[in-house]
């Protein structure tokens, strides 16, 4: 009976050691996931609103700048193609560039 008791005690210590290792891993994972910061944001709604507002404004400004660069590049490309005097496409592109330039100047087409 003493031998069984020792085995059970050793088995229990192994299980406790495994549980302790798992708990330490879970604690490390929770720290890495920044759960405390998330809970802090939920408890401070104005901080969450401010952070989301800044993120939204930044995203909107980034989109606007990106679209401006993209459309500028397209217009320069269309102007370059229009100057090549391609038979059918050149006239169409020249008309398109002229319409866009008139719209940018604020005049009616």
Q: pLDDT tens digits for 36-71?
A: 788 888 899 999 899 999 999 999 999 999 999 999
Confidence band (pLDDT; 50, 70, 90) for 97?
confident
pLDDT of 1 above 60: no
pLDDT value at residue 99: 87
How far apart CA 79 and CA 71 sit, in angstroms, is 12
pLDDT value at residue 4: 67
13-17-23-27 Cα dihedral, nearest 10 degrees:
140
pLDDT value at residue 69: 95
Do residues 74 and 82 make contact, with C-beta atoms less than 8 angstroms apart? no
Please indicate, yes or no, whether the overall pTM of this predicted structure exceeds 0.85.
no
User: Which structure tokens are listed for 55?
Assistant: 């993120």
pLDDT value at residue 62: 96
Instruction: Write phi, then psi, for 10 (nearest 5 degrees).
Output: -65, -40
| Residue spans per domain, the chain | 2-106
pLDDT value at residue 50: 94
How far apart CA 96 and CA 108 sit, in angstroms, is 14
pLDDT of 109 above 60: no
């Amino acid at each position: 009976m003493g031998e069984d008791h020792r085995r059970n005690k050793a088995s229990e210590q192994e299980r406790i050691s495994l549980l302790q290792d798992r708990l330490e891993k879970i604690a490390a994972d929770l720290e890495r996931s920044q759960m405390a910061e998330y809970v802090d944001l939920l408890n401070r709604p104005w901080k969450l609103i401010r952070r989301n507002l800044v993120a939204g404004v930044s995203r909107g400004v980034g989109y606007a700048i990106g679209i401006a660069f993209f459309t500028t590049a397209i217009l320069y490309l269309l102007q370059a193609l229009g100057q090549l005097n391609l038979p059918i496409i050149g006239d169409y592109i020249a008309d398109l560039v002229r319409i866009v330039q008139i719209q940018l100047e604020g005049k009616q087409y």
